[in-house]
Chains A and B, each alone.
Chain A
Amino acid sequence: MRTLRHRLARALVLAFPGMALAGSLGGPGGAALAADDNPPDVGDRRGALVDEVVFTQESDVGKVAGLIERGSYHVFAQGVTNTTVYHRLRDSDEVGYEQAYGTSTELTLNPAGPEFANGRLNPFAVRDIREAMNWLVNRRYVAEEIYGGLAVPRFLPINTAFPDYARLADTARALEIEYGHNPERASRVIREKMQALGASRDNGTWHYDGRPVELTILIRTEDARKRVGDYVANLLEDQGFRVRRQYRTAGEASRIWIGTDPNAGEWHIYTGSWVSTVVNRDVASNLSYYYTPRGRPDPLWQAYDPVPELDRIAERLQRRDYDTTEERRELMARGMELAMEDSARVWLVDQTNVIPRSDDVALAADLAGGIAGSRLWPYTLRFRDRLGGQVIFAAPSLLTEPWNPVAGSNWLFDTMITRSLSDTPVMPDPFTGLYWPQRIDSAEVTVQEDVPVTRTLDWLSVERVPEITVPEDTWIDWDTERGRFITVGEKHPDGMTARTRTRVRYENGYLDRRWHDGSRVSMADLVLPWILTFARADESSSLFDGSYLPVFEVFQRHFRGWRIVGTDPLVVEIYSDQIYPDAETIVAQRAPSVEPWHTLALGIMAERSDELAFSADKADRKRIPWMSMISGPSLDVLERKLGRAREHGFVPYAGVLERYLRADEISHRYQALADWYAGQGHFWVGDGPFYLDEVHPVERTVVLRRYEDFPDPADKWLRFTQPRIPEVRLDGPMMVQMGSGARFDLTITFQGEPYGREAIKEVQYLLFDGEGDLVHQGRAAPASGGRWRIALDAGQLDALGTGANSLEVAVTSTDVALPTFASHAFATVPPGTMTLEETP
C-alpha cells in the first residue's frame, strides 16, 4: 500500500507541482497521520500531552532511522534531504515522517556582459538566453530523478507551498505550462541569440572571437546540487558550449559568486539554494530581492538590470504600494511574467525535507520550517496511543550559544527548545502562516483608509478610518537620565498620526498566571521588556549595545507609541506605520508579551557591572562572558547578583516599575527564584507548556518537564496536527463535439470525506488549447457533497478549435496554504463525430 501510494505520489509529481505536494503528503507520512482520527481523550489534563521531552545531539543522519526503530529517539528535528535515508524511512514500519517545503534550488545566472572584462563571452547577459534555460532544463527530471522524489518542480520566484502561490494559482499554472520542458525551443532561441552575439557554431561547438565559448559552472558539492550542476553542464554541452565544472563547497563558492565582480567572468552559473523556515504569507518582495539591484549590496545584485516595468513593479510590491489586494495580485501576476522573461534565476525545484519521527508519535510540523520551525510542536506533541510519557528528540546541534532572553542564542534548535518554555500571545498556523489567538481574547486593527489590509479569521476586527491620531499619553520613547517613558505629547507637541492602531485585549486572568518558579505574572513583566527596547539603544544607558542599534532604528522608523489602556483585563494599544497585508500578522507583530522581570533584573545588574553581557557583540567588545542563564560561568555571577538583589530589594528602573508591582512582589519573586535555582540549577524561568528541568552541556542533553499549571486544556491545538490538503478528482468527457457544451465534475475530499465548502477558498479552472495557450478561465460552481461543477458552453469550446485540450483546476483552501491541482485532457472534435461517450 505504501509503495502504491508512493508511486502515485511520484506520478503526481510528474503531473503538477502542487498536486505532487498533496500526493506526497498523502503518502507514508499521511498514512501514519490517518491514525489521528481518534485523538486521545485528554480528560482535564492541561498543558502538554507528554510528561517529559529530552533533547540530545545526533549529527549522523544515516543512523537516525535505525535509532528511531530501536527506540533510542522518537523524533529527529532536522529535515532530511538524503534520498537513501528517505527510502529507508519510507520502507520502515516503525518510522514515519513529517514533510516541509521551505528549501528551494535554482540556477543563479551571471548577467554581466555580454563580454566579460577578460574578453570571454557571457551568453547569459542576454535575457532571451536566460529565459531559454527554462525550456532547456527538465524540472520533472530534476525533481524525480536527481532528488529521488524529494522535490517538486518550481518555476516561479514563489515557493509552491506558500499562500501567494495559491493566490496566483491560475497565473502560476499558465506560466508553468508556458515554461515547461521544451528543448527544441530552447535550442532555437539559444542558436538565434548566440548568432546575434556574433558567435558561430563550428563542429558542434560555439566559438566567439576565434575561441570556443566556455561556460563555468560553480557546482555545490554538499548535496544533490552536485548532480544538478552536472545535469545542467551536460545540457549546455549538448547545446555546443564547452563547460568547465568547478565543484565547490559553500565557503569556496561564495568567494567566487558573491565575492567577485560578476564582470570579471569567474563564473556563469551557480547552483543556488534558499531556505525559508516559516510559511511566509507575503513574498511580494521576492521580485525585488531576486531580480533587482535593491536585493543586496553585493556585486552580483548590482549587475542586475531588470526591464523598467519589472523594476517598477518589484519596487511597488516591496514598498507595499498598492491600494487593494486585487491590485497587489495583478502586480504580482505581471511581475511573475516579467521575472520569467528576465530569468536572472532559473528556479528548479522546491525540496521536500522529511523529518523522521517514530510512527507512534504525532506533532504539528510547519509546512515550511518543519518541526524545528514549528511554534506548535510543544502544544501538540504526543504518543498516538497514550497520554504522558517521555519523548526523545535528536538534533544535529544543541546549546550552540548561550541562552538569555534578551540577545541569546538564536540557533534553530536552541530556539526550538526555548519556544516550548515560554507562551506566546498568538500562535502561527503551521499550514497557512495566519495567526490564531493564544493568550489574547481579541484584537482590533484600525488602519488608514488607503492601507490594503485583509482580515481572514474572526477573532479580530479591522476598521478603516481617514486618520489615526496617536493620543498624547502614549509612550513613544525612554528618558534614560530621568528613568521614565517619554509621551507623544512631550515629544510631538503638535500631535502625531499613525497608519495603524492595534488594540490587543488579553484573555481574562492573563496577569494571574504563574511563572515556572511559582511567582505570579505582573504588569512589570510587560513593561520591563519595553524599557529594555529603548534603553539598549541609548548611548547614555549602561545597557547600551551598539550591535542592537541598527535593529532599533528599524523599529523606530515605524513605531508611533504604545499605551496600557486597561489592566483587568489587560488591554494594550500599539501605534505603528508598518503594514502587513494580513491583519493577523499586524497583531502578531505588535502584541507585546511578558518576560519575568526578576530574572531580567539579574541580567541587568550583571551587565551594568560589566561582568556579563546580554549580546555576543557587547561581550566580545568588553571581553566579558556572554550571558547564559542556564550554564557556565554566568551562573555564579547571576547567583551573586541574586543575593544582592534580595538583600537590597532591587528593582530595575524602579521609578517606573514599582507602580506595577504587587505588594511584597519583590521579596516573593526573589525568594521564588532562589528556590528555583536551588532546585533546577539555572535561571531560565518561563511560562510555556514545559519548564527547563535539566541541562547537561557537555553531554549535550536538555530535559524539559511538563508544566502542570499551564492554563490551557491539553487538546487545545490538536486540530493542527495534520494539514488538511484537499484531494481533488476531476472527471469529464474525453471527447466533446464542437458546437455543444460540456460539463466537468470535480470532487474535493480529505481522507475520503467531502471537503467542507466553507473551507474552500476558491476553485479556479483554466482551459488550454493544444498549443498550450490559455483560452478561458473561470471559477467552478459548488454542488453538494464536496462536488463542484465546471460548465463550458459551446462558444468557449469552439474557441479551442479541434484537437487535444487540457482543463486545469486549482483548488485553494483556507485550512492550508498549499494549493491542489488537477487536470483533465479531452479532445474537441467536429460536429457529428462519434465521441467515446457515444461509443456503444
Chain B
Amino acid sequence: MSTAPGVASPSRAGSLRDLRRIAAFTARRLVALFLTVMVGVYLTIVIANMGGEVDELRKLQIRSTVAEQVRADPAFADMPAEERNELIQRRVQQQIERRRLDEPFILRSIDYLQQAAVLDLGRAEEMHSDRGSREVYRIIVERLPATLLLFGTANLLVFFVSVFAALRLSRHYGSISDRAVIALAPSSAAPGWFYGIFLILIFAFIVPVLPAGGMVDVPPPDGAWAYAVSVLRHMVLPVAAMFISSIFISIYSWRTFFLIHSSEDYVEMARAKGLPAGMIERRYILRPTLSPIITSFALMLIGLWSGAIILEQVFNWPGLGTLLFQAIGHRDTPVIIGSVVIFAYLLALTVFLLDILYAILDPRVRVGIEGDNQ
C-alpha cells in the first residue's frame, strides 16, 4: 500500500501530532515550572531580607562591630574623638560597600534573581565554606554529603520499612501488630530531635555506649574503614531518632492507603479467582498504586536537601540544616537564597520527571487533545 506524495500516513501523522503535543506540553510545563521557581525564589529574597529591612539591621551590626573593635584596640585609645569617630565611619562605610548595602535593595534583589535564574549561586556575604571558600556553591556542596548520608539513610529506612510493613499489616487488618501501630501512630507528633534528646541522654550519658553528637570521632580516624565505622556509630542515634519519630505514622498512613486499594473491586475479583496473595499484592495493589508511591519517594528524596535544622543542631551534625541555621543567623542572603534556589530547581525537576513517569507507569494518564494533562 502506497501513500500519496506529500501526504503523511495516518500513523505517522498521529505520531507527529503526539510529538507536537508532547513538545508543547513539555515547553508549557517547563515555562510554568520556571516561572513558579522564579516567583518562589523572589519571594524568598524579599522575605529573607524583610523587604530590605534586614539591610538596616546589618548596617547597625556593622557599626556596632566596628565601634567595639576600635574600642578594644589600644592603638586607638588616645586618638582625638573626632578622628576616631571619623575613622569608625570610614571603616563602616567600607564594610557597607563591600556588602553592597549602599545600593537599593530592589536593585540587589533583581541581581539575586538574575543569578538564581542562571543557577549562579554567587558569593556569600558573611559566611565561608568549612574549607574557607566564599562561593555559595562550595559552601552548600561541602555540607551536602553529610546531610544526604544521614537523612538518606533514615528516610530510606523509614520509607521501605513502612511500605513493606504497611503491606503486611493491610493483610492482617485488626491484628495485634496492626492495633499496636495504630496506637503508636500519635508518637510521631513529636519531632525527631525530641527523641534525639532522650536517646542522647540514655545512650550517651546514662549508658555511654554511643557518641552524643558529631559526625565522626575526635580526632577523625586515619583509615577509610575506621572512618566509615566511626561515622556509622555517630549515625546510630540521629537515625534512630528520625526513625522512631516517623515510622509509626508512616506505616499507619501506608497501611490505610493499601487497605483502601485492597478493597477495590478488581482486587476482590482477583481474590475471588483464588490468585496467590503475593501476586495480588504485586499486580493488583502495588502496580496501580505505584504512582503515588513513587511520588512520595521522589518528594522524600527532594526533602533530604533541606536537612533538619534542629535535629542537626541537637546532634551537632555538620549538614545543610546547620548551614541554613547559620546563614539565617548571619543574615547571609546569598546562602539562604542558594539553598532555596537549588531546592526549588530540584523540586521543579522532580515534578517534571514525575509528570513523565506518571504517563509511563499509568496508562490512564495522557497528554490531552487540547493539550491538557488528563
Known contacts: A60-B314, A63-B212, A402-B132. The answer to whether A54 contacts B78 by CB under 8 A is no
A555 within 8 Å of B (CB atoms): yes
Contact A288 B57, CB 8 Å, known A401-B132, A402-B128: no
Contact check, A54 vs B218: say whether CB atoms are below 8 A apart. Answer: yes
Is B298 at the interface (CB under 8 A from chain A)? Answer: no
Q: How far is the CA of A619 from the CA of B80 in the complex (A)?
A: 32
Q: Which residues, 208 to 251 on B, are CB-close (under 8 Å) to A?
A: 208, 211-216, 218-220
A285 to B85, CA, bound (A): 14
Contacts of A803 in B (CB 8 A): none
Minimal beta-carbon separation of A414 from chain B (angstroms):
11
Contact A554 B79 (CB under 8 A): yes
Q: Which of A188-196, A628-636, A764-772 contacts B (4 or more CB under 8 A)?
A: A628-636
A356 to chain B, nearest CB (A): 15
Assembled-state Cα–Cα distance A392/B214 (Å): 14
**Which residue of the partner chain A has the closest CB to B331?**
A251
Q: Is the CB of B72 within 8 A of A294?
A: no
Please tell me if B164 contacts chain A, counting CB pairs below 8 Å: no
B81 to chain A, nearest CB (A): 3
Report how many residues on chain B are interfacial, defined by Cβ distance under 8 Å. 59
0 or 1 for each of B78-102: is its CB under 8 Å from A? (1 = yes) = 1111101101111100110011000
Flag if B316 contacts A57 (CB, 8 Å). yes
When the two chains form the complex, which single residue of A320, A554, A632 contacts B131, counting CB atoms closer than 8 Å?
A632
Instruction: Please choose the segment from A163-171, A519-527, A698-706 that sits at the chain B interface, where 4 or more of its residues have CB less than 8 A away.
Output: A698-706
Question: For the side of the interface on A, what is the size category?
Answer: 35 or more
Query: Are A626 and B134 neighbours in the complex by a CB distance under 8 Å?
Result: yes
The proximity string for A residues 280-311 relative to B, scoring 1 for CB distances below 8 Å and 0 otherwise, is 00100100110011111110000000000000
Residue from A58, A67, A400, A554 in contact with B76 in the complex, judged by beta carbons closer than 8 Å: A554
- B56 near A259 with CB under 8 A, answer yes
* Contact flag A72-B142 (CB < 8 Å), given A578-B78, A698-B130: no
> Cβ of B129 < 8 Å from any Cβ of A?
yes
List chain A residues, Cβ under 8 A from B146. Answer: 698
Q: Which residues of B contact A619 (CB under 8 A)?
A: 134
Q: How far is the CA of A254 from the CA of B63 in the complex (A)?
A: 10
Option from B75, B82, B200 in Cβ contact (under 8 Å) with A554: B75
Contact with A along B14-48 (1 / 0, CB 8 A): 00000000000000000000000000000000000
Is A530 in contact with chain B by the CB < 8 A criterion? no
Complex CA distance for A697 and B57, rounded to whole angstroms: 30
Contacts A619-B134, A703-B219 known; A56 to B214 CB distance under 8 Å?
Answer: yes
State which of B56, B90, B123, B220 has its C-beta within 8 Å of the C-beta of A623: B123
Asked whether, in the complex, the Cβ of B218 is within 8 Å of the Cβ of A392, the reply is yes
Taking the closest CB of chain A, its distance from the CB of B261, in whole angstroms, is 44
Per-residue 0/1 for B47-83: is the Cβ within 8 Å of any A Cβ (1 yes, 0 no)? 0000000001100110110010001101111111110
Q: A626-B128, A626-B132 are in contact. Are A620 and B123 (CB under 8 A)?
A: yes
B213 touches A63 (CB 8 A): yes
> Is residue B313 contacting chain A, with contact meaning CB distance below 8 A?
yes
Given A297-B85, A632-B131, verify A258-B64 contact (CB < 8 Å): yes
Q: How distant is B247 from chain A, measured CB to nearest CB, in Å?
A: 26
Specify which chain A residues have a CB less than 8 angstroms from the CB of B134 in the assembled complex: 619-620, 625-626
**A318-B318 in contact given A56-B214, A589-B74 (Cβ < 8 Å):** no
Q: With A and B bound together, what is the CA distance between A655 and B173 in angstroms?
A: 89
**With A251-B61, A277-B72, A699-B220 as contacts: A60 and B78 at CB distance below 8 Å:** no
Kindly state whether residue B205 has any CB partner on chain A within 8 Å.
yes
- For the complex, is B133 an interface residue (Cβ under 8 Å from A)? yes
Smallest distance from the beta carbon of B80 to chain A beta carbons, Å?
A: 7
The segment out of A131-139, A469-477, A545-553, A566-574 that lies at the interface is A545-553
User: A66 interface residue, CB < 8 Å from B?
Assistant: yes
The B-contacting residues of A in range 314-364, CB under 8 angstroms, are 315, 318-320
Given A550-B90, A626-B128, A296-B85 contact (CB < 8 Å): yes
Contacting pair A632 B132 (CB below 8 A): yes
* Residue in contact with B142 in the complex, picked from A546, A696, A698, CB distance below 8 Å: A698
Contact between chains at B78 and A579 (CB < 8 Å): yes
Say whether B78 contacts A319, CB under 8 Å.
Answer: yes
Asked if B212 contacts A66 (CB within 8 A), the reply is yes
Q: Could you tell me the distance in whole angstroms from the C-beta of A399 to the nearest C-beta in chain B? A: 6
Complex: A697 Cα to B99 Cα, angstroms: 25
Complexed CA–CA distance, A632 and B141 (Å):
13
* Minimum CB–CB distance for B159 against chain A, Å: 27
Contacts A57-B316, A277-B72 given; does A625 touch B133 at CB 8 Å: yes
Q: How far is the CA of A129 from the CA of B305 in the complex (A)?
A: 57
Q: Are A254 and B64 in contact (CB under 8 A)?
A: yes
Do B85 and A557 touch across chains, with their CB atoms under 8 A apart? no
Q: Which residues on A sit within 8 Å (CB–CB) of B216? A: 699
Closest chain A CB from B149 CB (angstroms): 12
Complex contact B74–A580 (CB within 8 A)? yes
List of B residues within 8 angstroms of A553 by Cβ: 87
Minimum CB–CB distance for B69 against chain A, Å: 9
- Say yes or no for A59: interface residue by CB 8 A criterion: yes
Question: Given A550-B87, A699-B220: A70 and B128 within 8 A (CB)?
Answer: no
Interface positions of A from 531 to 583, Cβ below 8 Å from B: 546-547, 550-551, 553-555, 557-558, 578-580
Q: Is the CB of B60 within 8 A of A60?
A: no
CB neighbours of B75 from chain A (8 A):
551, 554-555, 558, 578, 589
Instruction: Tell me if A259 and B81 are in contact (CB < 8 A).
Output: no
> In the complex, which residues 599-627 of chain A have their Cβ closer than 8 Å to any Cβ of chain B?
616-617, 619-621, 623, 625-626
- Alpha-carbon separation in the docked complex, A585 to B77 (Å): 13
The reply to whether B78 and A699 form a contact with Cβ atoms under 8 Å apart is: no
List B contacts of A558 (CB < 8 A): 75
Pick the contact of B132: A546, A697, A701 (CB < 8 A): A697
Chain B residues within an 8 Å CB radius of A60? 213, 313-314, 316
Residues of B within 8 A of A259 (CB): 56, 60
CB distance from B31 to the nearest CB of A (A): 32
Q: Which of A67, A589, A633, A694 contacts B133 (CB 8 A)?
A: A633
A298 to B213 alpha-carbon distance, docked (Å): 43
Is A276's beta carbon under 8 Å from chain B?
Answer: yes
Q: Which of B64, B79, B95, B131 contacts A633 (CB 8 A)?
A: B131
Which B residues touch A254, using CB under 8 A?
57, 60-61, 64
Asked whether B131 lies within 8 Å of A59 as measured between CB atoms, the reply is no
The answer to whether A546 and B57 have CB atoms under 8 Å apart is no
Given A66-B205, A251-B61, the answer on whether A631 and B131 have CB atoms closer than 8 Å is yes
Residue of B nearest to A589 (CB): B74
Determine how close the nearest CB of chain A comes to the CB of B112; give it in whole angstroms. 16
Chain B nearest CB, measured from A32 CB (Å): 22
Question: In angstroms, how far is the closest chain A Cβ from the Cβ of B66?
Answer: 10
- The answer, yes or no, to whether A255 is at the interface (CB within 8 Å) is yes
Residue of B nearest to A251 (CB): B57
Contact, CB under 8 Å: B63 / A258: yes
Most buried by A among B85, B131, B208: B131
Q: Give the Cβ gap from B328 to chain A, nearest Cβ, in Å.
A: 11
B56: chain A residues at CB < 8 Å are 255, 259
**How far apart are the CA atoms of A315 and B99 in the complex, in Å?**
35
30 contacts between A and B (CB under 8 A): A54-B218, A66-B212, A276-B72, A285-B77, A293-B81, A294-B85, A296-B67, A296-B88, A297-B85, A298-B67, A315-B81, A320-B78, A392-B218, A402-B132, A547-B91, A547-B94, A554-B75, A578-B75, A578-B78, A589-B74, A617-B98, A620-B99, A625-B132, A633-B133, A697-B129, A697-B142, A698-B130, A699-B220, A700-B130, A703-B219
Smallest CB-CB A-B distances: 5 pairs: A294-B81, A632-B131, A628-B132, A697-B130, A402-B132
**A interface with B by C-beta (< 8 Å):** 54, 56-60, 63, 66-67, 70, 72, 251, 254-255, 258-259, 276-277, 282, 285, 288-289, 292-298, 315, 318-320, 392, 399-403, 546-547, 550-551, 553-555, 557-558, 578-580, 585, 589, 616-617, 619-621, 623, 625-626, 628, 630-634, 694, 696-701, 703
Beyond A558-B75, A697-B131, A700-B318, list 9 extra A-B contacts (CB 8 Å).
A58-B214, A60-B313, A251-B57, A259-B60, A297-B85, A392-B218, A550-B87, A554-B87, A632-B133
